[in-house]
Amino acid sequence: EEERAHIEALIAQKEEQRQKLTSDLVDEEQRIAQMAREASSLKTLIARLTAPDSRIVPSPKPAILGALDPATRGAGKTLLSKLTVSRVPQRPKFTEARGTLQLPVSGNILITYGAQNAKNEVSMGLTIAAREYAQVIAPFDGNIVYAGPFLDYDQLLLIETGEGYHILFTGMARIYGQVGDRLLAGEPVGIMGQV
């Protein structure tokens, strides 16, 4: 009876935390949408999204042992001490991955980095002609810091890769994921729009 009451209390606590996280996510999405409405350029948007005071700061996770019943807490410590954690190999830094990144979508490269674009400006990225509804992938690990409409870019996806670098995607009909999602290289991030 005591165990059932304890489990029900934990379930209620988990539901309360889920509702708070959902509420926090809605607030964060509204705050980011407001930033996008106020930004007049991509540089302004990126600067606002990456400013230290605008970052999403994850709350600390409760310790596993703290949730165990006091009578079983010692057994949990013994069990955890016997577990071996395999180390995940360190991924290269974004600056070290130069020349090894996959293209985000299959297609013909129309404009390369540093070439003149249609506006007679120096291109800061690649322009790729892809087939309609082609799958778009993340070329490198990162976190989604913006996903949604922005100025005349239609759908914009901005992935922070670390070291002050971001990967920016435009021209997609649909974006998979939302702000705060962690992506791995090769993971689908959306589909291309109509040609």
- Which residues neighbour 115 within 8 Å (Cβ) at sequence distance 6 or greater? 122, 123
Could you tell me if 3 and 72 are in contact, meaning their C-beta atoms sit under 8 angstroms apart? Answer: no
pLDDT tens digits, one per residue of 54-90: 554 444 444 444 444 455 444 445 544 555 555 556 7
Could you tell me if 88 and 122 are in contact, meaning their C-beta atoms sit under 8 angstroms apart? Answer: no
Say what the pTM is: 0.65
- Residue listed under structure tokens 């990225």: 125
Mean pLDDT, range 12-31, rounded to an integer: 81
Could you tell me if 106 and 134 are in contact, meaning their C-beta atoms sit under 8 angstroms apart? Answer: yes
- Which residues neighbour 56 within 8 Å (Cβ) at sequence distance 6 or greater? 28, 179, 180
The more confident residue out of 79 and 151 is 151
**Least confident residue range of 36-45, 52-61, 140-149:** 52-61
